[in-house]
Structure 1
Amino acid sequence: MDFTFLSRWSPQLLSVLRIITALLFFAHGSAKLFGFPFVEALQGVPIGSIYGIGGIIEIIAGILLVIGLFSRLVAFIVSGEMAIAYFHTHAPQGFHPILNGGESAILFCFIFLYIAAAGPGPWSVDATRGKA
């Protein structure tokens, strides 16, 4: 079956990928800082700790990426944050991501790296400003 007809939707699907990934990323920050959604392991994160600072970055970056503002720069920064998160938190617990809980950090890292390279897509503030 030929799926090349789907290629006309590639730009819009890039925007959808950015928006959904940013919403999921935002949820990690809001769980750390606001306790919503409730994740027991993320409760009581001190704001000045590496996890608290990560939560602040995740909230701000999540908002900016949802609306698509400064998308390439923000995506590049949080791609690096997720690489650091993986090697700091997950890798010391074992080699395999499925065993050390690091799958989401790796996926976030590479999705954000892709967005940094590909841009935010047409449904973004950056695109309306001509900065995509």
Structure 2
Amino acid sequence: MNWLNRYADPVYCIVRILIGLMFACHGGNKILFFPPAQHGPATNPTGLVAGWIELSGGFLIAFGFLTRLAAFIASGEMAVAYFLTSFSGRTLRHTPTILERVFPILNGGEMAVVYCLVFFFIVFYGPGCWSIDFLVKKNNQV
């Protein structure tokens, strides 16, 4: 299976681009109400800050510009979002049990955890070959 190694960086870049664009859609929904969703745009300050982080961070990650910084901030935002909403039980209609607090699948926080971990991975892996950061670094070395 070593022949797959030559595709590792391009596949990583495709995943980074798609994750970044999906994250930007969450921010676009909160700030611009596009794409439209059931809950509508954010109206509280916390939701607006989260929306701007998601919109700008998602595009920065997708285009690979300031990738590590954007991914670090986005990962932190998703950790905070998980603990403020899902872990605390705000997403549930009842007082959460211990199991509901501990397991993201039970408290509706699995997407926040997945985004948090993917962005944390991007912080350490970097932007990849299809990125503005790579082009800037390449031009500075010449």
Same fold (TM over 0.5): yes
| Structure 2 residue corresponding to 1:123, chosen from 124, 130, 138 | 130
What TM-score do the two structures reach when normalised by structure 2? 0.84
> What pairs up with 1:89-104 in 2 under 5 angstroms?
89-93=85-89, 94-95=100-101, 96-104=103-111
Q: How many residues align?
A: 127
- Which one of 34, 38, 42 corresponds to residue 45 of structure 1? 42
- Taking every aligned residue pair, what percent have the same amino acid on both sides? 39
**Where do 5+ consecutive residues of structure 2 fail to align?**
90-99
Q: Structure 2 matches for 1:49-128, cutoff 5 A?
A: 49-93=45-89, 94-95=100-101, 96-128=103-135
Take 2:75 and 2:37, find their aligned partners in 1: how far apart are those partners?
23
Taking a change above 3 Å as real, the CA distance of residues 44 and 76 of structure 1, as seen in their structure-2 partners, is closer
Q: Which secondary structure state, in structure 2, belongs to the residue aligned with residue 40 of structure 1?
A: coil
Instruction: Tell me the distance in 2 between the aligned counterparts of 1:52 and 1:61.
Output: 14
Residue 44 of structure 1: how far off its partner (Å): 3.8
Alpha-carbon distance between aligned partners in 1 of 2:46 and 2:135, rounded to the nearest angstrom: 35
Counterparts of 1:44 and 1:15, CA distance in 2: 30
Return the alpha-carbon distance in structure 2 between the equivalents of residues 55 and 26 of structure 1. Answer: 8
CA contact (8 A) 1:14 1:120 kept: no
1:15-51 superposed Cα distances (whole Å, 9 cap, x missing partner): 111101001100100111111222112x1412x5111
Q: Which contiguous aligned blocks of 4+ residues in structure 1 show a shift greater than 2 angstroms?
A: none
Matched to 2:76, the amino acid is G
1:92 offset after TM fit, Å?
Answer: 1.3
Structure-1 separation of matches of 2:33 and 2:72: 26
Q: Distance in 1 between matches of 2:55 and 2:20?
A: 9
Unaligned runs of 5+ in 1: none
Normalised TM-score (structure 1): 0.90
